[in-house]
Amino acid sequence: MAEANAKSVRTTVFISKATPGDDEFVLWLAPKLEVAGYKVFADILTLEPGDRWRSVITSTLQQDAIKMLLCCRDSTLAAAGVLEEIDIASDLSKQLKDQRFIIPLRLEPYKKVFGIAGLQYIDFVRGWADGLEKLLGALKRQKVPRDAEHATINPNWEVYRRRGAIALKNEPERLTSNWLRIAETPDAINYLEPSGAIDRDALADACPLTRFPTTLMQQGIVTFQSPEEINSALSGVGRFVLKHSVPLASFVSEGLAVAGIQRQDASNVVHSMIRQAWNAFCRERGFLEYQYSNAVGFHAGKDQIAIGKKVPWGRQGERHSSMLRNVAKGHVWQFGVTALPAFWPFPHLKLKSRVLFAAVKDDEADAPIDDARKQHRLRRSVCKGWRNKQWHGRLLAFIELLSGEQSSINLCLGETAVVRVEAAPLLFSSPVSTVLPDKLLDEEEETDTSTLGRPEPEEDEP
């Protein structure tokens, strides 16, 4: 009976963590558990000056905890205090007859340790928000007590966060984005239909093979090409007549109701066509192409730049340089981008940075590694040491390499239809700035000969 009473008064969700490695995660997680109605203990806030900290932690775990959330990564699980908490929690699990008393939270791939080896973890590696959703579901299923109607968030979480925050200055700052402004687009887009009977399967097969983007929609095709260009390109399929020539802006914002084309479909088609034109531009210049899970990336390869050679960048003001290819962990890394067209708040291309790895062969890069998991592990270990300045420099160097001496990049959608993209990234102005230095000398941009900073050791998947 005494044991049952002891269990009934337990209401605290105890977070076992290492300081300072897990502080950022706990400062994010704890308030979200509190807003869901749970009572949370974490040694970041709960200890007061003068407390015998180990005694307070131990007594809270032994007497108040209904669950222990265990932050799991190798560095955390090697901490003496965390190992002690695992021992106590393992005993409590038996005492309370709760095999799920310890809930591991996987923050990084980790080697299992005694006491938790057989426990199923909740994965936060793929995303903290996704992990939180699974954790809240588990706590609810396991009937952990909470008071959602009177949920309160301890304001000291935010106070503690601000202690280590970067100070702001009340001065404006110019920031370089990863957006390239689309300065010019064709005035109109064309909708054509066959002039007679046609094999639609043959048309569907032929459209992707045309030199310029052509999309099958409703009873016809959408393209920026003229009727003459289309009839030449699709002469083996049939003849086409122009039904509508629509201002591009209205096609993107409204669609083409008379042809049954909805606004969202119209917008998606134009985005796809610009992306196809970007891909064709990169292919023509011999950039290394790689198909990621949801998009194509183009990378600097041996035809563009030698391994270890810096690319100068900076059209105005001071000139800098950055590497786009080098060797690390026995592999060649090659920087590249994926272009994502958008029309809001104005037409632009957003460049997403990519890093592609290949084995070393005869002092050059072999074919890209055909193993998505290995590519992922190499990115996590090699690129983790890169600073924001290095990512920024590589992006600007890649744009410089891609555009050459030109101030713009012309993406062809037809013989006379062109999307002109400015080769200089857009600058935005922030009303405040930080006390961190915004400028680095050229030699400071690359901290060592492999340009990798201090990468973490490669991690093994469980």
Beta carbons of 359 and 378 less than 8 angstroms apart: no
In this structure, the answer to whether residues 315 and 188 fall within a common structural domain is yes
Contact yes or no for 289/283 (Cβ under 8 A):
yes
Instruction: Note if the pTM is more than 0.85.
Output: no
Regarding whether 351 and 259 lie in a shared domain, the answer is yes
Q: What are the phi and psi torsion angles at 85 (to 5°)?
A: -65, -35
Query: Same domain, yes or no, for 100 and 249?
Result: no
| Pair 145, 290 in one domain | no
Residue-level pLDDT at 57: 87
Identify the pLDDT of residue 387: 80
Say how far apart CA 2 and CA 95 lie, in whole Å: 12
How confident is the model at residue 28, as a pLDDT?
92
Pick the last residue of a domain from 163, 186, 209: 163
In 3D space, the residue among 12, 356, 340 whose CA is nearest the CA of residue 180 turns out to be 340
**424 and 341, same structural domain?**
yes
* Token pair for 93: 């699990």
What pLDDT shows up at residue 55?
Answer: 81
**What is the predicted pLDDT for the residue at 67?**
97
Query: Does the residue 34 lie in any domain?
Result: yes
Q: Which of 110, 144, 163 is the last residue of a domain?
A: 163
pLDDT in tens, 94-110: 999 999 999 999 999 99
- Same domain? 48 vs 120: yes
Any domain includes 168: no
Q: What domain count does the chain have? A: 2
Residue 287 lies inside a defined structural domain of this protein:
yes
Q: Which residues of the chain have pLDDT under 70?
A: 1-8, 45-53, 162-167, 315-318, 435-462
What is the Cα gyration radius of the chain? 29
Do 258 and 364 reside in the same domain of the chain? yes
Burial environment of residue 327 by CB neighbours within 10 A (0 to 12, 13 to 18, 19 or more): middle
Q: Do residues 56 and 193 share a domain?
A: no
The pLDDT score that the predictor gives to residue 201 is 95
Q: Which neighbouring-strand residues pair with 433?
A: 169
Residues 123 and 199 in one domain: no
23: containing domain? 2-163
Identify whether 429 is part of a domain: yes
Cα(439)–Cα(393) distance, rounded to whole angstroms?
12
Q: What is residue 167's predicted lDDT score, i.e. its pLDDT?
A: 66
> 78 and 192 share a domain?
no
pLDDT computed for residue 261 by the predictor: 96
Regarding whether 287 and 429 lie in a shared domain, the answer is yes
Instruction: Report the chain's terminal Cα–Cα distance, integer Å.
Output: 41
Answer with the one of 114, 132, 163 that is the final residue of a domain.
163
pLDDT tens for 301-326 read 999 999 999 999 986 556 789 999 99
The token pair at 97 is 């007859």
Q: What is the pLDDT of residue 173?
A: 81
Residue 371 lies in a domain: yes
Q: What is the CATH number of the domain that holds 35?
A: 3.40.50.10140
Q: At residue 295, what are phi and psi to the nearest 5 degrees?
A: -165, 165
Shared-domain flag, residues 177 and 159? no
**Type and span of the H or E element at 379:** helix 372-382
Determine the pLDDT at residue 446. Answer: 41
